[in-house]
Amino acid sequence: MELQAGDKAPDFKTTDQDGNVVSLKDFKGKKVALYFYPEDDTQVCTVQACNLRDNYDELKKHGITILGVSPNDQKSHKKFEQKFKLPFPLLVDEDLKLANKYGVWAEKVLYGNRHMGIVRSTFLIDEKGKIHSIVKRALSKIHTQQILKGFGMA
């Protein structure tokens, strides 16, 4: 069943690029933008991450915590974070548990070829752990604006 606004956000426990254990419960009382992206250090994913980095102070000013998620491992996330000076956690989802819980591991079509992959999506989670809204088509160059608009702040 597809997640929708108003649903309780599925909890998770995983590690970030520094090996810290991260759980959604850790962010109770805070707004969270949980964004799923396909792969570290690829063109579109880098533009998206850098858009969030460049607007990080604005997001923090509105009380929004950013959490990135991809199937890459901790070492890949660490390199990506360091190369682009990303100020937010990148969560490891090698086993695709998070992607499957949030319904973003799905069939995609690229140049007529079908394959499974991460559907670039962002779940905006409110202070009570409920999904406030979902950015189903995250646009890398304006992702911050989509997040602010999704939370009703733009």
Per-residue pLDDT band at 1 (split at 50, 70, 90): low
Is there a contact between 15 and 74 (Cβ–Cβ < 8 Å)?
A: yes
DSSP character at residue 100: H
With H, G, I as helix, E, B as strand and everything else as coil, classify residue 75. Answer: helix
What pLDDT is stored for residue 16 in this prediction? 98
CATH classification number, 29-150, choose in 2.30.30.790, 2.60.40.10, 3.40.1110.10, 3.40.30.10: 3.40.30.10
Give the chain's count of helices (H) and strands (E): 5, 9
Q: CB count, 10 Å around CB of 154?
A: 12
For 140-149, write each residue's pLDDT tens digit: 999 999 999 9
Could you give the residue numbers annotated as active site? Answer: 45
8 A C-beta contact, residue 94 and residue 71: yes
Average pLDDT of the segment spanning 48-62: 97
Dist CA 98 CA 135 (whole Å): 17
**Segments making up each domain of the chain, as ranges:** 29-150
Look at residue 121 in the predicted model and tell me its pLDDT.
95
Residue 60 has a pLDDT of 96
